[in-house]
Each structure stands twice: as structure tokens, then as C-alpha cells.
């Protein structure tokens, strides 16, 4: 009998809604390729078969780590999925410092985070630019994780629903109904990112409902129901379960708590 490999640990769809959960580690600008190798080896040691069957687990390291992690994951047949944090919406050319979707897909990257609030705020990414990235990721046969979320002032003004609908609609302008199931939407309220103040489970469920209602209005209910909605923003081992239990949510996008393999394993096992 051959050793078990990724195909034996494929995540099973949630029987409540048919969607496969996705738990993603957004490392941001942390962990060089040597630290990344050590972290993934440790994570693999800590995770059990049931964890991989519960949810697909994607790792989004800095670009410089991708090739090392691809080799590690494939050589050791780890049931972990590679992701990226960003890309540029052109296939090649004079775009100094950028990385194209096709370069990522050659490394067997499956998911690409698009429109993270840090990209929107620190690098001035507009909804229109984010829409081009969503299109480019799909065209390169990868799956975008589109981040949306309101700021503190918008929340105080009661504008959360409106902000989320606008961001979702604008980012998906060029997506066709038959492709919609490939899109993952991460609800990440800006005030919750890296602050230790997560949203409540109720707020996250309401936001996920707004996102799905927007998708249903713009597309068809049956395709809108295929879209996975994650929650992100100060997720840790203590609060992960409350989000994962919600029927409205299909997973988590984890920043700070994903850098330590033990903490991230506890989030997954929550
Ligand atoms: P955090 O980051 O978990 O550190 O709040 C989440 C994110 O920015 O994706």
C-alpha cells in the first residue's frame, strides 16, 4: 500500500450547505523562506487527518517563500494548499517589482488574496484595480480571495451593509455567473485587523448575509450559494470556533495567529 497523500485528505464539503470550508494563513510581510520552511514543517507535524478533512488549508507567504514551500509541500505530499497575498493584473511586461498571475500559477498557487485592506489603504488600490486583479486571477486558473470590509467610521455611521455591497459589486464587475463559484469573499472589517478586537459572531454572520444577498441580486441564487465567505480580523484559537460554527461562514482568513504554527493549528482545531 502506498503512503497516504493529499488526495486521501481532501476537505469534505460542509453537509449543511455543500461548500468546502477554507482556512487561510495570511503571513503578510513576515517569515523569510527558511523560517517559512520550519513553520510549515511544524504545522504539518501538528495537524491531523481530521483537520484537513474539515477544511482546505491555504498558506499565503511572501513571494520569496513560494518556491521553497511549493517544493516542500509537493515533495512531502502535504495536504496544504499554496496561496499568494497579491498579484499584478498583467501577464508580463514593464511593471518593475510586480509578479504576474501566470508566474504564481506556475508555482501551483491556487488562491490569491485580492484587495486586502492593507493594499487598499497603504498602496492606494481602487475598486477598479481590484476588479482587474480578480479577472486576472481567474484568467490564470486560480481562485481569488476578495477582501471587503468597512472602516470604523463607516460602521459607526451604520453604513456597513452599503460599503460591503459596493465593494463586492465593483470588484466582480467582469465576473461571469458560471465563474462565481471560484470566488471566495473574505469579510474583514478594517477596525478588527491586527487590533485584537474581532467582530462578534453576529456581526460576521450579518455581514456574510449582506455579501451573499448582494451576490444573489447580481448573479443567481444558485451560483451565489456556491461562494465561500470567510471572516478575518483578530481571529485566534479562542474565538475561531464561534465563527466556524456559523452557517453563514465558510472559513477564516487569519493574520497574526497564523505566524505561529501552534497557534494556527489551534485555530484550525477549534
Ligand atoms: P489579523 O489579520 O488576523 O492579524 O487581524 C487578518 C488579515 O489581515 O487578514
Model pTM? 0.97
Which element (helix H / strand E) includes 185? strand 184-187
Atom of ligand 1 nearest to the CA of 118: 8
- pLDDT value at residue 5: 78
Distance CA 181, CA 175 (A): 10
Residue 14 grid cell: 460542509
Total number of residues shown for the chain: 270
Distance CA 246, CA 96 (A): 43
DSSP conformation class of 173: T
Q: Helix 261-268 and helix 33-46: axis angle, to 10°?
A: 40
Judge whether 172 and 183 are in contact, CB under 8 Å. yes
- 101 C-alpha vs ligand 1 centroid, how far in Å? 23
| Cα pseudo-dihedral 11, 207, 28, 41, rounded to 10 | -20
What is Dmax (Cα atoms) for the chain?
61
- pLDDT value at residue 254: 98
- pLDDT value at residue 4: 78
Q: What is the DSSP string of 14-63?
A: PTTTSPPPEEEEE--S---HHHHHHHHHHHHHH--HHHHHH-EEEEE--G
- pLDDT value at residue 2: 56
Which residues neighbour 106 within 8 Å (Cβ) at sequence distance 6 or greater? none
Spell out the per-residue pLDDT of the chain, length 270, in tens: 456 778 889 999 999 999 999 999 999 999 999 999 999 999 999 999 999 999 999 999 999 999 999 999 999 999 999 999 999 999 999 999 999 999 999 999 999 999 999 999 999 999 999 999 999 999 999 999 999 999 999 999 999 999 999 999 999 999 999 999 999 999 999 999 999 999 999 999 999 999 999 999 999 999 999 999 999 999 999 999 999 999 999 999 999 999 999 999 999 999
Residue of 25, 84, 188, 263 with the most ligand 1 atoms within 8 Å of its CB, for mutation: 188
Three-class secondary structure of residue 111 per DSSP: strand
If you take atom 1 of ligand 1, which residue's CA is the nearest one?
255
Judge whether 210 and 149 are in contact, CB under 8 Å. no
Picking from 122, 68, 119, the residue whose alpha carbon sits closest to that of residue 89 is: 119
Three-class secondary structure of residue 267 per DSSP: helix
Residue of 199, 204, 230, 254 with the most ligand 1 atoms within 8 Å of its CB, for mutation: 254
Picking from 203, 199, 196, the residue whose alpha carbon sits closest to that of residue 256 is: 196
Judge whether 83 and 58 are in contact, CB under 8 Å. yes
Beta bridge partners of 146: 114, 185
- pLDDT value at residue 237: 97
Query: Which residue in the block uniquely carries the three cell numbers 460554527?
Result: 245
Amino acid at each position: 500500500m502506498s503512503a497516504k497523500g493529499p488526495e486521501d485528505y481532501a476537505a469534505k464539503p460542509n453537509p449543511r450547505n455543500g461548500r468546502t470550508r477554507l482556512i487561510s494563513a495570511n503571513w503578510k510581510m513576515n517569515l523569510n523562506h527558511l523560517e517559512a520552511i520550519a513553520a510549515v514543517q511544524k504545522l504539518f507535524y501538528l495537524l491531523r487527518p481530521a483537520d484537513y478533512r474539515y477544511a482546505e488549508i491555504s498558506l499565503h507567504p511572501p513571494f520569496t517563500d513560494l518556491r521553497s514551500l511549493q517544493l516542500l509541500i509537493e515533495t512531502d505530499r502535504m495536504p496544504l494548499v499554496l496561496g499568494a497575498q497579491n498579484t499584478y493584473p498583467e501577464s508580463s511586461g514593464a511593471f518593475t517589482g510586480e509578479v504576474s498571475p501566470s508566474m504564481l500559477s506556475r508555482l501551483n498557487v491556487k488562491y490569491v488574496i485580492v484587495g486586502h485592506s492593507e493594499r487598499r489603504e497603504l498602496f492606494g488600490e481602487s475598486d477598479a484595480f481590484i476588479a482587474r486583479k480578480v479577472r486576472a486571477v481567474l484568467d490564470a486558473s486560480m481562485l481569488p480571495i476578495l477582501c471587503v470590509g468597512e472602516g470604523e467610521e463607516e460602521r459607526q455611521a451604520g453604513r456597513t451593509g452599503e460599503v460591503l455591497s459596493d465593494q463586492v459589486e465593483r470588484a466582480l464587475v467582469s465576473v461571469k455567473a458560471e465563474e462565481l463559484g471560484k470566488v471566495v469573499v473574505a469579510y474583514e472589517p478594517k477596525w478588527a485587523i491586527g487590533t485584537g478586537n474581532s467582530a462578534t459572531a453576529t456581526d460576521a454572520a450579518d455581514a456574510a448575509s449582506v455579501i451573499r444577498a448582494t451576490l444573489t441580486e447580481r448573479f443567481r441564487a444558485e451560483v451565489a450559494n456556491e461562494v465561500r465567505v470567510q471572516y478575518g480580523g483578530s481571529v485566534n484559537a479562542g474565538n475561531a470556533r464561534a465563527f466556524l460554527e456559523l452557517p453563514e461562514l465558510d472559513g477564516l482568513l487569519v493574520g497574526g495567529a497564523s505566524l505561529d504554527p501552534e497557534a494556527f493549528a489551534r485555530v484550525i482545531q477549534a
